[in-house]
Chains A and B, each alone.
Chain A
Amino acid sequence: MRKCIIMVAFLLATSTTIYAGGYQVSLHGQRQLGMGLIGTSLALDASATFNNPGALAMMPEQLSIVGGINGVFGSTAYQMETPSVYQAKTDNPPGTPFHFYVAGMLTDRLAGGIAVNTPYGNSLKWEDGWAGRFLIQEISMRAITIQPTLSFRLTDMLSLGAGFVYAIGSVDLERALPVEGPGGEGQLNIDGNATNYGFNAGLQFAHPLGFSAGLSYRSKIMMEIENGDALFSNIPSSLASEFPAENRVDVSLPLPANLDFGISYQVTPDLLLGMALHYVFWSEYEELVFDFNENTSSLPDSYNKRDYSNTLIVRAGGEYRVTPAFYLRAGGYFDPTPVNSDYFSPETPSLDNLAFTGGASFMPSSNLSIDASLLYIIGMEEDMRYTPENFNGTYSSRIIIPGIGITYQF
């Protein structure tokens, strides 16, 4: 408990790092977040730009600006395959994913918007010298997307929209090499950037009696890092030629496609309930390949099987208007792991996640809303194996994500 409080104090002082199922992050708006991260069927505000471009033209106001930031405080624990008393934990730096949306009605029926957010990422740091250091010591990967979007209202009940997604990704990882000299073990640091394109499109149906449904699809984006840095350090001098110090590496990582479906119902003027199904096309992630530009007999290209499976995330939540200026939200979701339990690498220790969310909004004026959310994720304890290198054990994780944002609209 004490550690959590101390970490909160450093919330905004650190760089962007992210964490969730696989390496996808779904922190796309404080209001959606409070309701179990449902959002596909909600035309709340400019955040629809990302959550469902089809819903943007159903936005109730002429202009909407949404901005927010979350703090991610996660830890993962490892217990070596029994019988063993070996345990290790991550000591992750807190992450700060953010989102910013601006959207407006260009005509009666046509809306335009732009979304800037961080839908993918993974950041963790295992304790120094831990038993899995030859697989991963530390990793920070993230993707920022910029998405200009147009949405058109066909009828009062139906609208559609689409956006162009420009993604900027980076990976920085560190692993130990089982090569030892008088000064200890060798290290490999891989660092690279990539950009690529994709799209986001959706449909929104809204019935005047308060029922809404949304369907959206975000395409896969392949992050192909070419000529990233592969820096070998602390290599014994007798082996220096085997590990060229300033090597280059090609790595590619798929940012998986998402097919989202959501429904919601305004039960009373004060109560909104909704749910969503998010299908994530993780099976694209078959293999993590490090293709070194310069190979030696000790440094072949590295093929690491991942063999992820598609997953279906089930989300549910609601919002209650306590007073016209004060809203409360609650929700939850179950996000099964995409990781194959035989190829579970501690670099992305994604478990079956059970999450609870809560949130509140306070509106000092009719134009302005201050939105807060809190997300608590239980990575359910499970025995996992990385069979290619015989690294097995039990993993468990806990993540707490407070968030704050503002919504301005008129």
Chain B
Amino acid sequence: MAKNNIFPIILFIFIGLFTSCEADIDKHSPSAGDADLSTFVSLGNSLTAGFMDGELFREGQHNSVANIMAGQFMHTGLEDFNQPLMHDDIGFGNRLVLAQVEGQLLPVPIGGTPDPGNYENIYDAEGPFHNLGVPGAKTQHLLFEGYAALNPYYGRFAANIATSSILGDALVLNPSFFSLWIGSNDILGYALDGGEGDNILPPEEFRAAYQYLVQQLTQGGAKGVTANIVDITTIPFFTTVPYNALLLTDPDVVAALNMAYAEAPHIEFDIGPNPLVVVDTEHPAGFRQLETGELILLTALDGIQNENWGSQVPLTAEYYLSLEQINHIAEAVNEYNDIIHNTATETNMAFVDVNELLREAEPGIYFDAIGFSTDFVSGGIFSLDGIHLSSRGNAIVANEFIAAINTQYNASIPKVAIGNYPGIIFP
């Protein structure tokens, strides 16, 4: 009889095992480490704001670097992160979408009428705001009381249009933690005009403004994260059109062009890719062909394709960067980045090397089984304006911010899954 009792015992053991029938893994338990993430403010420019595809709009703001980070901080003590959201996905109306134009895939304006509310100051109704990223802002602008009157993106949400500064709006919130990602526009302003418009803010002046910002933000005991700026040679706005974009296949066209430039023996065309002809006031002839390494702005593409720019019509100076200008920019980027890195080290702040991240991504890189590169549109990291990051690009950068915070402050803030953010939408 004793033998027959074995069966129920075995059955009992198996039932015990089956209670764990579903596979299960203990969830990672997040921690803020030495950081206090209860009040987080984010200062910066368009990249912080969520500007992409040529405009600031609601969906882009949801996927801003600051908002993605804040979403993860919610796992470790943050309760509220308020963004000055546009009322629609049009913003001020400059948003681009991909479309097929005469068989070519191109970014075109989205069209539509912006919600009038996008132009109204929403501070009293919805403020105060934690995401203080302002598209177009340069470093000194963050200190500038009255900047709201000059920049409608800040005018929308400044506490007081006449007297507020971005820094002041941040300090009023008594932040326990901040992110500061600024400096790009101090250099980009020069690069985006082909070196013909704005000057680069001298590094010494950048240092003074930057260090003042950090000193003000940290004096109440707040901790923070900073990031450096990106060299233009990884930004598709400057790398998409090659210096030798003039592809000639017809011998008659080659002959005609050589004939047209017969008076200028330094200009020569052949079958195949040819360097574009550009205006250069420093050249004795006043024009020349581009050299390897010189960069053409994306905005010249239409003229090159449709108006004979760079062949019959020399490309004007605001559409390209000479080697000298490129070196000038690179030196400034290096000096700014040294200042940012040194300031972060001296003040024990987390530091993100975004410049290095994009350099690594340039030839192609995988995140969460999705391939990326810094190529225009197809690369997936940059948005349709070729300068600002896409939603997934923002998620990749936000993960780097989180990694830097985790390292600096012994924290364990969870990263995001990149595939949960929208990719580039093709028609």
Contact = CB atoms under 8 A, between A and B. Distances in A.
A360 interface: yes
Contact of A1 (B21, B24, B371, B414): B21
A84 B415 contact: yes
Chain A interface SS verdict (over half): strand
Given A89-B23, A132-B369, 9 more contacts: A75-B21, A75-B22, A83-B406, A83-B413, A86-B416, A178-B423, A180-B422, A236-B427, A400-B18
B30 interface: yes
A4 B21 CA distance: 7
A374 B7 CA distance: 13
Given A131-B368, A180-B422, A398 B25 contact: no
Given A83-B30, A83-B412, A84-B417, A180 B98 contact: no
Nearest to A73: B21
B424 interface: yes
B220 interface: no
Contacts of A394: 25
Contacts of B18: 1, 4, 376, 400
A358 B371 CA distance: 47
A239 B423 CA distance: 15
Contacts of B113: none
Interface string B191-225: 00000000000000000000000000000000000
A199 interface: no
Given A75-B22, A181-B425, A328-B6, A80 B14 contact: no
A1 B19 contact: yes
18 contacts: A1-B19, A75-B22, A77-B24, A77-B25, A80-B417, A83-B414, A84-B416, A132-B368, A135-B369, A179-B426, A236-B426, A322-B7, A328-B7, A376-B18, A389-B370, A390-B368, A391-B366, A400-B18
Interface of B: 3-4, 6-7, 10, 13-14, 17-25, 27-28, 30, 75, 98, 100, 105, 365-371, 380, 402, 406, 412-417, 419-420, 422-427
B10 A330 contact: yes
Contacts of B14: 358, 374, 376
B21 A134 contact: no
Q: Which 6 A-B pairs have the closest CB atoms?
A: A236-B426, A77-B23, A4-B21, A390-B366, A391-B369, A131-B417
B109 to A, nearest CB: 17
Nearest to A4: B21
Interface in A352-410: 356, 358, 360, 374, 376, 379, 381, 386, 388-391, 394-398, 400
Contact of B369 (A180, A182, A386): A386
Contact of B371 (A77, A178, A236): A178
B426 A75 contact: no
Contact of B425 (A178, A180, A400): A180
B423 to A, nearest CB: 4
Nearest to A388: B366
A266 to B, nearest CB: 18
A134 B419 contact: yes
A118 B382 CA distance: 49
B23 A182 contact: no
Interface in A181-227: 181-182, 185
A351 to B, nearest CB: 10
A87 B369 contact: no
Contacts of B370: 134, 178, 389
Given A83-B413, A180-B423, A379 B23 contact: yes
A79 B17 CA distance: 22
A390 B419 contact: no
Interface string A1-24: 101100000000000000000000
A322 B17 contact: no
Contact of A87 (B27, B366, B406, B420): B27
Contacts of B414: 82-86
A358 B22 CA distance: 20
Given A131-B419, A236-B427, A75 B23 contact: yes
A381 B27 CA distance: 13
A107 interface: no
Contact of B415 (A83, A238, A381): A83
Nearest to B29: A85
A86 B17 CA distance: 27
A390 B422 CA distance: 19
Interface string A62-93: 00000000000111111110111111011000
A133 B98 CA distance: 25
Between B4, B17, B369, the greatest number of chain A beta carbons within 10 A of the residue's beta carbon is seen for: B369
A133 B420 CA distance: 11
Contact of B105 (A182, A185, A238): A238
Contacts of B22: 3-4, 75, 77, 89, 398
Contacts of A268: none
A309 B426 CA distance: 42
A237 interface: yes
A224 to B, nearest CB: 27
A188 B370 CA distance: 15
Contacts of B23: 74-77, 89-90, 379, 396-398
B28 A82 contact: yes
A3 B417 contact: no
A238 B13 CA distance: 59
A263 to B, nearest CB: 24
Contacts of B21: 1, 3-4, 73, 75, 398, 400
A101 B7 CA distance: 28
A390 B369 contact: yes
A394 B17 CA distance: 22
A135 B420 CA distance: 15
Contacts of A87: 25, 27
A322 B4 contact: yes
Nearest to A79: B25
A342 to B, nearest CB: 14
Contacts of A328: 6-7, 10
